Copies of this chain bind each other. A is one copy, B any other.
Amino acid sequence: MKTISGQLQIETKGYSDIIDITSEVEEALKESKLRAGIISIICSGSTGALTTCEYESGLIEDLKRFFEKVIPENEAYHHNERWGDGNGFSHVRASLIGPSLTVPFNEGKLNLGTWQQIIFIDFDNRPRDRKIHLQIMGE
C-alpha cells in the first residue's frame, strides 16, 4: 500500500465558476501507477467546493441558478458587514457543497459513470489561483 500526493493549480473566474478537473485527476492516477484504492481531493480555501455532475453547459447554468436562488449574492450577510469583502454568499455556498471528495478506483480507473465528471466550483467573488490537493492511496 502506498500514499502518493499530487497538486493541481487552477485559475478560475470566481462567481460559481464550475471547472471539470476529471482529466487532471485521471492523469495523476495514471502517473501513480496504483491499481486499486482511493483518491481524496480537497480544495484548500473556504470559498471553493468539490462534487460531481454531468459536465454540459445546460446543467452548468442550472447549478449556478440553483446557488443564486437558495443563497443569493446580494442578500445581507453578517460576514459582509464585518469584513467588507462581499463574499458572504461564497462562503455559505462552499460550506453547503463541501470542500472535499473521495473517489475509489479499480484497475487504474476512477469509479465514475460515463457522464459523471469531478467538478471544482469557485464560489468566490473574484478570479482566484487555486490549489487542489490529491492524495492517492492504494496498491
Q: Hey, which bits of chain A sit against chain B, CB under 8 A?
A: 1-3, 5, 36-38, 40-42, 44-46, 51-54, 56-59, 61-63, 66, 69-71, 77-83, 88, 91-92, 94-106, 111-113, 115-117, 119, 133-135, 137-139
Contacts and interface: CB of A to CB of B under 8 A. Distances in A.
B99 A52 contact: yes
Given A40-B38, A46-B53, A58-B77, A98 B95 contact: no
Contacts of A38: 38, 40, 102, 135, 137
B66 A71 contact: yes
A132 to B, nearest CB: 9
Contacts of A70: 66, 69-70
Given A42-B111, A111-B42, A77 B62 contact: yes
Given A52-B95, A104-B133, 17 more contacts: A1-B137, A3-B138, A5-B36, A38-B135, A38-B137, A40-B103, A42-B102, A42-B111, A44-B111, A56-B79, A57-B78, A58-B83, A59-B78, A63-B92, A66-B92, A96-B96, A97-B98
